Structure formats: C-alpha cells, structure tokens
Structure 1
Amino acid sequence: MTLNRRRFIRHLVATTLGAAWPVLGASPVRFGVTAVMLDDRVGFLNDWAAWLGARLGRPVVFVQRARYREILDLLLGGQLDLAWICGYPYVQHQDALELIAVPSFQGQPLYRAYVIAAAEGGVQSFEELAGRLFAWADPDSNSGYLYPRSHLAGLGRDPDHFFRRTFFTWGHPRSVVAVAEGLADGAAVDGYVWETLARRDPALTGQTQIILRSPLFGFPPIVAARDLPAADRTRLREILIGQAGDAAGRALLAELNLDGFVTAEPALFTDIAAMARQLGRSG
C-alpha cells in the first residue's frame, strides 16, 4: 500500500470513530489471523481493528501467529473470540466452531488452489514436479496442502513419496517467493493470494506460472467458538456483512482485494471435508 493510500484509509476510519468507545473499559474482542492469510500487514490490521471496534463498541485486537494450528488452539482454548482460518481446520472442528462470515472474492465466496512452478523452469504440469523440491504453505491449509495431496492420491501417486523433498513456508506469499527465487521447483498456494500478489507485485508473480488450478472451494471463513455469546456473534456478523456499505469499510476491503463478506452454510465446505476423509484427515 502506498503511504498516500494508507493515510486516506486512516482518515476515512478516523472520521467514523467518534470521541470514545461507547462502552468504556469493555474487554477487547480478540481476532486471530495467520501469516497464511495476512503477512506483514500490521498497519492494515490496526486500521481494520479501529474500524471494527468503532462499530462494535468495544476494542478489537488482532492476534497474529505463524500457523493455523496456533490460531486454532487459541480459539478452541478460549483465548480468542473469532479467527480467520482455512476451510480445512473448519471442517475438522466444525462441531466446536460457528461460521460468522465468508469473504466474497470476484463475486462469490469461493476460491481455487493453484500449483505453481517457475516461469522459466521448463515445468509445465504438476506431474513434471515428480522427484523435485516442493513447498507447502501449512499442514492445515486446504489450498497449500490438502488439495494437492488429494489430487496426487486421485492420480494414484503417493503424496509422501512423489517429491524429492518438501518443506513448509508458513505463508502463501512466502511460497510464491520460494518458487520465484528458485528455492523450490513448485508450490501449492491459495489462488486468491496469488491473484492479489499479481496486482500488488506483478514482477514477483511474473516469475512463476500456474500449472494446475483446482475446482472451486469455499473461501477461508471467519469463525467463532461456540461459547462466544450469541449476541456478540450476531453483531460481529452484521458488522462484517455491512462493511461493503461503508466508505471506510470498502477502502479496507479493497486493500484485501475482496468484495465484502457474506453469510454461508457449512455445506459450502463439503468438498474440503470429502478430501479430508479421502486422506484420513477428518479429525
């Protein structure tokens, strides 16, 4: 984000904050995110927290961790109120979590997984990555781990022995960088993240090519633990779904490369649950 655009967004947010929190001393809402979804976006998260808190009437604090598992453990352990996670951990812990909202990307609450390779490396298909060095994003990521393993299993290939060696980058942008800089021959990444990077840093993504696109899956959701009071869950859902109707909210969404947030049913993630069962990873 350019400095001028950041100042513009902060001005829009500031004009809507009011003089003080409506409920002084209210406990903050703790919102978990990972580097898998938001990497090095501290300034943006501060702006989004201010916007959310002004509408909620309570401070909002973003809690960042490197891995989905760390965020999930905090959420299930009562140390977070809500979190932006992947559809894969959601289907694994669906009984303990409630959907709050799902981002809308390019007009629908769906996204694809991409398998990428170097633009000039000569690899043109996923199968050509056999015996090469491959980067996963996170073991609890659908696009960055579950889907490509399911795809290989569907081809009759053993995901644990297909590549010469694999490693985790703990972030989709980092996986793109790993391929672009020759640290990996290929990687599995979130298509939304790759497309967003292509807008912000086309020189980076231009060093990679997409060699496999997955079917559409439910977009990584925002969820809450079921012990969060119903009134809080309802209000948070209303605020997120209404974000696209507010000027400052739209500016923040534009920085996320999202249209907005929508409601969704658990059935949106049926395909991810089926892949988890296929690989014996449903719980």
Structure 2
Amino acid sequence: MLTFTKRIAIGGLALGVAVPAAAADWQEDYPTFRYGVQSVETQSAAMSRYEQFGEYVQEKLGVDLDLYLASEYSGVIQAIAAGQIEVMDMGASGYAAAWIETNGGVEPLVVPQETDGSIGYYSVMFVRADSDIHSFEDTEGRSFAWADPNSSSGYLFPLVSMRDRGIDPEEHFSDVVFSGGHEQSIIGVLDGAYDVAVTWTNDPEDHTRGGIHMMLERDILQEEDIRIIWQSDLIPNPVIAIRSDVPQQMKDDLRDLFLNMKEDNPEVFAEVARGESAGYVEVDHEVYEIAVKLRRQLAAERRSN
C-alpha cells in the first residue's frame, strides 16, 4: 500500500490562460500535473519551495499542480510505477529504481546543468568541524548515517565506492543507520547523533546547489560547522522524468516548461532546481545507465547472499 505524508493541490484551473490547441487533448485527460518529489528536506520547506511553481504551471499550461511528497524515496518510485503520478524529480539511483520497476516505463525530460557546463554533482562525507576525524581512515569504529536506500549520493554511489576499496561499511563503522534523508543526516551530525554522514553538493568548496546549499540557505547550517573528508566521482544530476505512456504532446510541453523556466521566471527556477544552475537541459537515458547497472549489481549480490 502506497502512502504519502503530504499531498499538495496548489490552486485551481487557471482561467483565461492561452493554451496551445495541440495541447488541449492531453490537458483534458490530465487536468492535474501530478509531480512527485524526493524527500531531500523537510516537508514544510518543500511545500514553501514549490508554492510559486504551482502558480507557474497554471500560468504556462492552465492545469493544476498536484505535488506529492513522500516520506521516503521509495514512495515516489512506487507512485510513478503505479501510475499515481506522471512526473518525478529524483536522483540517479531513484530514477534507475523507477526505470527497473517499470521495465523502462519512465524516461528523462530534463536535468539541471551546472554553471561550469557539467550535469553532475558529488556525494560528500562530512563530520562536525570540531571532530577529530580528518580523513576516511579516521572514520573506522565511528557511527555513520546513510540518507536513504534509494539515494544516489546518500547511499548507492558512496557504498559502491567503499566496496571498490574493499571496505564493508557494516564492519568499518561501529554503527550504521539510515537517517531518513539528507537534512536529517546533516542535523544528526551537528547534534552528535552520528559521527559521520554523507550528503550531496554541486561543488565541495562552493555549495551553490544541493543538500548543503539548502541548509545554508535556511540558516540551519553554517559552512564552518562541518568539514568534508571525502568526495565521490561525479554523479549524474537528479533528473526530472516522466512516464513513457503519457501523450507525446504532454512530454513536449512539460519539457519546454522546464527548459524555459530560468529565463521566464528565475525565482521559481532557483527554487525548483534547489539553487544556482545554468538552466535545465535535455538528457537521455544513457546518462543514467551507470545507476541502473549499480542497482542491478547490488540486487544480484543480495540475492546471492
């Protein structure tokens, strides 16, 4: 059974909005744009973040925004597989899970591009700034928190990196838990609940987008409060993906909505993209094949154990 902790219906159908004739058919069949978002911050923060996006969707497409916030990443994955939402904003691992679950029934629309032209970010391992941990080697025997089993930066990619180094996290750390999300991981380290955790950032030295950026933006975290002791290789950015079975015109219109958002409304864009970005760009499934491969690899290992 699929449950959501929050569901937000923002506004009603916009009146007097000029809608392209070619889009009319899909709008009649889909009067609501059902959008699933992974839990990278608290629900109250997410609701505030997407309020103006709902108004933007009404203005541009003349349909409601129905925002689904799941308490766990798996909620969004299950929702799109069950046809309860049309679009999701998920990290590479979450997208890969949905793609596998639906037998290829989801496809990428757009991805936020970094200001340097890349479409990737990093998983970073961090500790409190006053910790005596200064390197990954120092983390042996300490308590550690993943974010969520379906998180790219908060689980999949750092796990594979450790295993590639011959390290079993369950043996390396004294205690290993799932915090429930990136914000919970950061707060847990700050409060001393965990010695070490992982989260995501577009730049380990200048956090202009990502989990650390969102905490800095809300003054919950000061940059000098934590110290980064490890960073991953580049991970494909979180992707906005859509069910393959929706009308092509709907895909085209939603893709254009995101591609034009930064120029049309920079404020809304910054909220939806979760920080600074050069804008949304189109992306193909091939970019996320690495995440599909890693998830299948882990699944095969679990079956063999």
Q: Pick the TM interval, shorter chain.
A: 0.7 to 0.9
Matched, 1:84 2:121: no
In the alignment, what sits opposite 1:146? 156
Distance 1:35 1:209 in 2: 24
In the alignment, what sits opposite 1:11? none
Farther-moved stretch of structure 1 (166-175 vs 72-81): 166-175
Residues 90 and 121 from structure 1, CA distance in 2 versus in 1: closer, same or farther, beyond 3 angstroms? same
In the alignment, what sits opposite 2:38? 34
Report how far residue 172 of structure 1 moved. 1.0
Distance 2:239 2:41 in 1: 11
Identify the match of residue 258 of structure 1 among 272, 276, 288: 276
Matched, 1:97 2:106: yes
1:17-166 equivalences in 2 (<5 Å): 19-20=15-16, 27-36=31-40, 39=43, 40-94=45-99, 95-107=104-116, 108-166=118-176
Identify the match of residue 182 of structure 2 among 147, 172, 179: 172
CA contact (8 A) 2:215 2:221 kept: no
Matched, 1:268 2:284: no
1:26-66 per-position Cα deviation (integer Å, ceiling 9, x unaligned): 62110011222675231221111110222112111111111
Question: What secondary structure sits across from 1:120 in the alignment?
Answer: coil
CA contact (8 A) 2:14 2:62 kept: no
CA contact (8 A) 2:36 2:67 kept: yes
Report how far residue 22 of structure 1 moved. 5.3
Report how far residue 261 of structure 1 moved. 1.2
Farther-moved stretch of structure 1 (151-160 vs 198-207): 198-207
Report how far residue 254 of structure 1 moved. 2.8
Distance 1:96 1:222 in 2: 14
Report how far residue 151 of structure 1 moved. 1.5
Counterpart AA for 1:64: L
Structure 1: tracts of 5 or more residues without a match? 1-16
Question: What secondary structure sits across from 1:50 in the alignment?
Answer: helix
Question: What secondary structure sits across from 1:146 in the alignment?
Answer: helix
1:169-194 per-position Cα deviation (integer Å, ceiling 9, x unaligned): 22212211111111110101012211
Question: What secondary structure sits across from 1:52 in the alignment?
Answer: helix
Question: What secondary structure sits across from 2:172 in the alignment?
Answer: coil
Identify the match of residue 261 of structure 2 among 243, 249, 252: 243
CA contact (8 A) 1:36 1:67 kept: no
Residues 199 and 282 from structure 1, CA distance in 2 versus in 1: closer, same or farther, beyond 3 angstroms? farther
Report how far residue 19 of structure 1 moved. 4.6
Distance 1:268 1:221 in 2: 10
Structure 2: tracts of 5 or more residues without a match? 1-12, 20-26, 202-209
Q: Normalised by the size of structure 2, how large is the TM-score?
A: 0.79
Counterpart AA for 1:269: Y
Q: Normalised by the size of structure 1, how large is the TM-score?
A: 0.85
Residues 181 and 282 from structure 1, CA distance in 2 versus in 1: closer, same or farther, beyond 3 angstroms? same
Counterpart AA for 1:250: P
Farther-moved stretch of structure 1 (121-130 vs 76-85): 121-130
Question: What secondary structure sits across from 1:228 in the alignment?
Answer: coil
Report how far residue 200 of structure 1 moved. 4.2
Counterpart AA for 1:237: R
Residues 38 and 230 from structure 1, CA distance in 2 versus in 1: closer, same or farther, beyond 3 angstroms? farther
Distance 1:281 1:84 in 2: 26
1:136-192 per-position Cα deviation (integer Å, ceiling 9, x unaligned): 111001100011211111111113322211222222122111111111101010122
CA contact (8 A) 1:197 1:205 kept: no
Report how far residue 226 of structure 1 moved. 1.2
Identity of aligned residues (%): 25
Report how far residue 89 of structure 1 moved. 2.5
**Number of residues of Structure 1 aligned to a counterpart in Structure 2:** 266
1:239-279 per-position Cα deviation (integer Å, ceiling 9, x unaligned): 10010111xx2112234213221111222224434433553
